[in-house]
Amino acid sequence: VHINLEKDIARFLGTEKAIIYSQNFSTISSVIAAFSKRGDIIVADDGCNFAIQKGTQISRSNIKWFKHNDMADLERVLESIKKETSASKKRPLTRRFIVTEGLFQNFGDIAPLDKIMELKEKYKYRVILDECNSFGILGKNGRGLTEVFNISPKRVDMIIGSMATALSGTGGFCAGSKEVVEHQRLSGQAFVFSASMPAMLAVCASEAIKILETPEKGNKLLKDMTDNAAAFRNVVVSAPQAIEVSSDVGMLSAAGITTRDEEKYLLQEIVDEVAVKDGLLITRAKYVENQEMFLPRPSIRISMSATHARKDVEKAAQAIKASFVKAISKRK
């Protein structure tokens, strides 16, 4: 069933092969370290999640960061590396990678993959794309960012995804060419030194992919989920004096709060209030603050699915909005 799942993922994405990992968090860090070694170069978005940060550290490569989703800054970094390396007459042969997320966990926006691919080809880099939050979510058929930008997935060297989100399973995967996948079977530490995921969850993920591949079922689920997210956002944006909404997804921050600690306490107060008063389970984003390279702003994350009823989504949004307004007004 595990091999069947790998085939299902590769078929769904349109890549040559795929490999599955039993833990989602360790997938991207293991993939990075399997290909990029000491002396190699990684250029990464400074908005990347904690797992990517750890992967770059484990690889012991030379790491360069560009400003979040700033393509001008990415090209500046790539150009500076080109000048540095071309100035050396006896420069060693290095592998070079651009690492980014599809849908950013800490910001709620998406990477401009079309521009990234242009720069990849111009400067001769490989791209590692973390689609853990966009696989099964974005695109007409849920195939992620490559489908959004109409880019062949075979042009992206490594696509990493999660089976713990849209597929209702566990673990992660890496999809790409045959050479990319087979290399990880001996060099991917999280693959080699880990047990397989439970067979039941592998079957569950395969069935979820088959549902996404069925037009009448998959398209309806994707539309319902998108409509729910839009309905939620339409409610909370009506209180701009209290809530700042990131992009088109439910990443909420408190407006008008100046210190990080104050914002953390305020958001936790909101989480606690809606849990007790309204029976809503939401979470404040928490970070390993002494290890994050670029500490994100405190925020509340809203998780919803295609199966939530519209009236429940709007009711929850109204309750959260009211709690935000109340908490902000008490501090004025």
Question: Residue 16 gets which letter from DSSP?
Answer: S
Q: Supply φ then ψ for residue 39, to 5 degrees.
A: 95, -20
pLDDT higher than threshold 80 for residue 244? no
Cβ neighbours, 10 Å, residue 80: 11
Q: What pLDDT is stored for residue 84 in this prediction?
A: 86
Q: Do the beta carbons of residue 188 and residue 21 sit within 8 Å?
A: yes
Q: Do the beta carbons of residue 96 and residue 41 sit within 8 Å?
A: yes
**256 confidence band (pLDDT: 50, 70, 90):** low
Give the CA angle between residues 197, 37, 35 to the nearest 5°: 45
Q: What percent of the chain has pLDDT over 90?
A: 73
Q: What pLDDT is stored for residue 239 in this prediction?
A: 74
pLDDT higher than threshold 60 for residue 249? no
Q: What percent of the chain has pLDDT over 70?
A: 95
Token pair of 176, please? 């790409």
Edge-to-edge strands of the sheet including 243-246?
243-246, 251-254, 300-301, 283-284
Cβ neighbours, 10 Å, residue 245: 18
Cβ neighbors of 282 (< 8 A, separation 6 or more) are: 271, 274, 275, 300, 301, 302, 303, 320
pLDDT higher than threshold 80 for residue 136? yes
Q: Average of pLDDT values for 111-138?
A: 96
Instruction: Enter the pTM of the model.
Output: 0.92
pLDDT higher than threshold 80 for residue 77? yes
- Tell me how far CA of residue 101 lies from CA of 6, 14, 79, 111, in angstroms: 21, 19, 22, 7
3-state secondary structure of 295: coil
Closest of 157, 135, 160 to residue 147, by C-alpha? 135
The rounded distance, in Å, linking the Cα atoms of 136 and 306 is 12
3-state secondary structure of 148: helix
Closest of 257, 241, 265, 243 to residue 319, by C-alpha? 243
Give the max Cα distance, the chain.
Answer: 68
Cβ neighbors of 24 (< 8 A, separation 6 or more) are: 132, 162, 163, 164, 170, 171, 172
- Tell me how far CA of residue 107 lies from CA of 110, 196, 304, in angstroms: 9, 32, 17
pLDDT higher than threshold 90 for residue 124? yes
Q: What pLDDT is stored for residue 304 in this prediction?
A: 86
Q: What pLDDT is stored for residue 205 in this prediction?
A: 96
Sorted by where each starts, the structural domains of the chain and their CATH numbers stand as: 2-213 (3.40.640.10), 216-330 (3.90.1150.10)
Q: Supply φ then ψ for residue 65, to 5 degrees.
A: -110, 140
Q: Average of pLDDT values for 150-179?
A: 95
Cβ neighbours, 10 Å, residue 233: 18
pLDDT higher than threshold 70 for residue 63? yes
